Chain A
């Protein structure tokens, strides 16, 4: 468990805001290079690692996509030594006042905090409500002159909150969405080191999921996998969350059941999970999942896609919380899925066979 916790803590430490994933990509390149046969970066900045089949097969390939970008803030204006901000990805304004941040400038990082201005400086109708991002500031504590010299409009701001170990494998940190899944994929690549597979496996850490999911879309087009599995986070149950829309922590990953996931792939994952006694939770949702799977499914001629979710509590806040065992479960699940992929597997996904079987 320690290794998994340390890996996750290392991954959440490195910034990688949507569209600006270079720091996390470089950190992942170091980690993945010894684990894969080939490594490349897509035109939009996604990281692709290829692990070649080491058993005879028919040249099928599986893409496992986890987005490596994270939400954050961006400087829109500088006034009186303070920074106006807007969001990069979906930031919950309610969690921003009093949050520690890091302002990334050309001349180095500046610690700061998001601040809620005094009521009398806000429009009257806001004073008794939640304060929208456009009225919040970032204060670095530096004098106006230093700020004007160092900070530029467009500079990125990441949440700067240390990862907390809360005992029993519970970790709280910003950016668990989606470093939790990146950690699971990294662990799976490690587990695969002394295992056999008949399929090529492409591990992808995609970009820009929090804004557009175009990272996954373009990676899918470039790689053209036979199948794709997307791992993202899902809503974990916690205080104030509706039970019917959330999933329990420490009860295993969610298997998406809805229009995004190929029903036969869903069945295959259920079978494997049962076979290997890996707990999972069925996540039924009839509309868009809002994940990379959305785009991957529709790349080129279409790709049979499966969506797995790691339940995290307090999604898109600086105190997201995850159970490390759920990450380990996903790693194991991906590994055994890859191991059992054979030449026949792709046949099981054909719609025509389904129709024939129904006759």
Chain B
């Protein structure tokens, strides 16, 4: 096991702000709809924000936005930060008439989260609902079993029946809300990472060339990031994402040993998940930065799941990669909750870590 070498904090380091501007931007991004494969609305919002901030912008064949912000000097380390623009949602697959549609899930959604929800359907965000046969008319076994997608429909009402069509996407109709120390929204995963990345471009450390990838299709198989990683060809990469906080009490009062991450304990650094074994040199960098700058962090419980790092780290001859996530409760449901503090600490930690990246970092073997 490698130990994290201490780093001494830079005196002129300034914590990047996650304040009202960033929260407003997150609100706009979370309320916008960009189901995997249909990220146009998000791309537009991101472009508006980053155009004045970056030196180069490129679009690739699959819809990623690749932007470069150069540091000061030559032969700087090329550091890729990836945040995915897409979100989980639905696609209309069959028109049954009178505004009733069969649909498929895009990304990992538990069908138990579907009945009784409002949705926004199609490019015009028409209001729709996913209903449920009245429980008075359901059998006892129907009432207690897991709802099956096969039995659920998106209903937009007969009046708008011709205004949407199969192939249109839909999302949960959840408006962003700040409540106490928490932020609530439908697509915090990963508009939060997108907003953090925009903030990094605004406050880019000068010791690196910052390669920003706003990726597509993460929720349907980490697809966009594969292409982005190849194209950008960075020296190292960090995926900025959200990870489930599964820390709720266990029904019988026993200890919750599979919490994965815990809200209010800072950003979660990945040692390994289902898609990537995080590069120990980068794990140590972030841990050392957290210790040196007194920014709280946690190690995400190793286990399943995946981020854009999963496809980035195996591009070309290999790209040292790691992920860092903001813990979020109830991700991939109608409403996710994250702690503003965790988000602020995540932006601070990533920025502090990047400030200490130099060409020596990856010279030592892994």
Contact = CB atoms under 8 A, between A and B. Distances in A.
Interface of A: 79-80, 82, 90, 92-100, 110-111, 113, 115-118, 120-123, 128-132, 135, 137, 139-143, 146, 161, 164-170, 172, 235, 238-242, 245-246, 290, 313-319, 321
> A-side binding surface: helix, strand, loop or mixed?
loop
A121 B118 contact: no
A33 to B, nearest CB: 34
A140 B335 CA distance: 11
B112 A141 contact: no
A314 B152 CA distance: 12
B214 to A, nearest CB: 27
Interface of B: 96, 99-100, 110, 112-113, 115-118, 126-137, 143-147, 151-153, 155-160, 172, 174, 177, 179-184, 244, 246, 248-252, 256, 258, 329-330, 333-335, 337
A40 B99 CA distance: 44
A118 B152 CA distance: 22
A128 B147 CA distance: 10
B128 A166 contact: yes
Contacts of B181: 141-143
Given A80-B249, A241-B134, A166 B159 contact: yes
A118 B117 contact: no
B260 to A, nearest CB: 9
A314 B131 contact: yes
A326 B183 CA distance: 40
Contacts of B172: 98
Contacts of A142: 179-182
Nearest to B260: A118
A161 B135 contact: no
Contacts of B99: 166
A130 B143 CA distance: 8
Nearest to B248: A117
A129 B117 CA distance: 19
A317 B335 CA distance: 17
B159 A317 contact: no
B137 A235 contact: yes
A168 B143 contact: no
Contacts of B182: 141-142
Given A82-B248, A130-B112, A130-B143, A170 B158 contact: yes
Contacts of B160: 166-168
Contacts of A90: 135-136
14 contacts: A93-B143, A94-B132, A94-B147, A100-B335, A113-B334, A123-B251, A135-B251, A164-B118, A166-B156, A168-B160, A169-B159, A317-B115, A319-B129, A319-B130
Contacts of B115: 92, 94-95, 317
Contact of A313 (B96, B131, B184): B131
Q: Which 5 A-B pairs have the closest CB atoms?
A: A95-B116, A168-B159, A141-B182, A167-B159, A166-B157
Contacts of B248: 80, 82, 115, 117-118, 121, 137
B334 to A, nearest CB: 4
A166 B181 CA distance: 34
A151 to B, nearest CB: 13
Given A92-B143, A116-B110, A235-B137, A141 B184 contact: yes
B117 A82 contact: no
B129 A164 contact: yes
A220 B5 CA distance: 81
Contacts of A161: 118
Given A118-B258, A140-B179, A313-B155, 9 more contacts: A90-B135, A94-B147, A95-B116, A121-B249, A129-B145, A141-B180, A238-B100, A238-B155, A240-B151
Given A121-B256, A172-B118, A94 B112 contact: yes
A94 B135 contact: yes
